[in-house]
A and B are shown apart, each in its own frame.
Chain A
């Protein structure tokens, strides 16, 4: 931690508020909230792009990301799962690289040469897209295998954060437990939508391969973790800005069973489940609850029907929420005062009775002014106390 006056000054308010509010460990606070009890303050989770991590580290005079998280009072630490020991991913002359599923990916740069430059790993080619029959799908040779991972370090990797922090097994963004997302990588997004409407047998064939992989993989991860995972996170985007991407009927038909299977496995090991989806998924929430989901992430506030006050009122007794902070408009385009008002609104709406973890609805994006990032965390501590 750098001790120059400017950094001390920037850190002072958060330090002061934390000293005033905090009476328990991060882990106790987080787990109480997940159990719908009121801890000392609302637990804080954090999602940032690497570029914003770097900028925030510099702004507060921290040495690295771990130090930043500790200073900001973030209650959760991520576990990315086992180590990959499978065959090396094939590299192509055009710069694309195969991923776990044999999908060719490329690094795409946005905002090149500007102050908001960043990168994302994107699908360059979907290997199953040209296939027209289930037979062809079945002959695909690059289905992922749970044998490609070395699980023995998971326990130690999680335990290192205990007893202080609450450990979320988040997996990797691109390999997180899911059904629809890997299907979109493998088949292409548009073709997947066409399949959902016209080719049920292809949807089922691809889906079954994906589920088979994750069922075995998750069993091995949870088994290896030996009780050190506090929360299991899966993620499969089924919501868009103005409504779900697919109908509830379609989801019931193709994905509900797998969704419940994943939850049941984690529960067998006593691990609560957090599910990430962007967008408007309000009409799915009763089904999520029926399947036993513990925490819904990410409550994208600018999507239709995702007002946190309303969701808390309708579903807050039966499910916990994580998220609610807008990264599309308020954080990149608003003022620090707009950010404070957003935090206050969410806290006032969802704090009562526990069951709320505050976080941005996705990674804080690189177009966000640092003043707004600072205002966000300050407001978390200002308005989060019980």
Chain B
């Protein structure tokens, strides 16, 4: 079987070790890192996203998938950094001020990393100012904001206002996610996209990047 297909299957099978060793083998065999990424890891993530949506797998399995993707990317990263490969994109991510929940954010962060994005994770309880400073300094393509509580989602609005005040809003796409987030809320605060779950968040990030 094609090795990228094997990586995809190992990822869907949630075997961290197998994803890692197959990635290593693929690289040794001279398979292009972008091909491993697209046809192995991202293809596997698509299947995982579908299984999660259909309630065939749940959060423990998503965490494992995220860990496997991140491990594999550790092997691909040095090759992806070569100047002849166009960068996939840069993301600054964090949980907004007043909220300390990080599991959803961590899964998204691992999966974005696994999909080839350069991710800077600012952690939890991150102020609007800190997000804005990071956008100014790191110039990410996407700013990803997470929350769990209903009232803390209002801090996302503050982040967008802070970006506007700093004249930085136009240079970055804002992607939001977390339990109380839906399309209506996303439109209400003027974010560029939202993900109902981690794989959907990664899908959104890829599509925002393609725009």
Contacts and interface: CB of A to CB of B under 8 A. Distances in A.
Interface of A: 108-112, 114, 116, 118, 120, 122-123, 189-190, 193-194, 196-198, 240-247, 250, 283, 302, 327-329, 332-333, 365-367
Given A110-B97, A329-B182, A366 B151 contact: yes
A240 B98 CA distance: 20
Contacts of A245: 58-59
Given A190-B103, A242-B197, A367-B150, 11 more contacts: A108-B125, A111-B154, A111-B155, A193-B103, A194-B64, A197-B60, A197-B63, A197-B64, A243-B55, A243-B58, A367-B151
B176 to A, nearest CB: 14
Given A111-B152, A193-B60, A365-B151, A329 B184 contact: yes
A193 B59 contact: yes
A193 B151 contact: no
Contact of B155 (A110, A190, A246, A283): A110
A108 B58 contact: no
A200 B121 CA distance: 30
Nearest to A245: B59
B58 A246 contact: yes
Interface string B101-126: 11100100000000000000000010
B138 interface: no
Contacts of B150: 327-328, 332, 365, 367
A329 B151 CA distance: 11
B154 A114 contact: yes
B46 interface: no
Interface in B170-211: 179-180, 182, 184-185, 188, 196-197
Nearest to B16: A198
Given A108-B100, A190-B102, A283-B55, A197 B151 contact: no
Chain A to chain B: the 4 pairs with minimum beta-carbon distance, closest first: A110-B98, A197-B60, A241-B179, A367-B151
A263 to B, nearest CB: 24
Contacts of A332: 150-151
Given A112-B98, A244-B55, A118 B63 contact: no
Given A109-B98, A110-B97, A197 B14 contact: yes
Contact of B61 (A108, A118, A189, A197): A197
Contacts of B179: 240-241, 328
A114 B63 CA distance: 35
B99 interface: yes
Given A193-B103, A194-B63, A196-B60, A110 B149 contact: yes
Nearest to B106: A190
B138 to A, nearest CB: 25
Contacts of B149: 110, 120, 365
Interface in B81-102: 97-102
Contacts of B106: 190
Contacts of A327: 150
B57 interface: yes
Contacts of B55: 243-244, 283
B13 to A, nearest CB: 12
A247 B57 contact: yes
Given A193-B103, A194-B63, A240-B179, A247 B58 contact: yes
Interface of B: 14, 52-53, 55, 57-61, 63-64, 67, 97-103, 106, 125, 149-152, 154-155, 179-180, 182, 184-185, 188, 196-197
Contact of A110 (B61, B67, B151): B151
Contacts of A197: 14, 60-61, 63-64
Which of B57, B97, B149, B150 gathers the greatest number of chain A CB atoms within 10 Å? B150
Nearest to B196: A242
B180 A110 contact: no
15 contacts: A110-B149, A111-B98, A112-B98, A190-B106, A193-B103, A197-B14, A197-B63, A241-B196, A242-B196, A250-B60, A328-B150, A328-B179, A332-B150, A365-B149, A367-B150
A194 to B, nearest CB: 6
Contact of B100 (A122, A194, A198, A240): A122
A302 B59 CA distance: 19
A23 B123 CA distance: 55
Nearest to B63: A193
A194 B60 contact: yes
A198 B59 contact: no
A242 B152 contact: no
A196 B58 CA distance: 11
A101 to B, nearest CB: 18
A122 B154 CA distance: 19
Contacts of A247: 57-58
A328 to B, nearest CB: 5
A59 B161 CA distance: 31
Contacts of A365: 149-151
B59 A118 contact: no
B59 A246 contact: yes
A240 B63 CA distance: 15
Given A190-B103, A240-B179, A367-B150, A108 B98 contact: yes
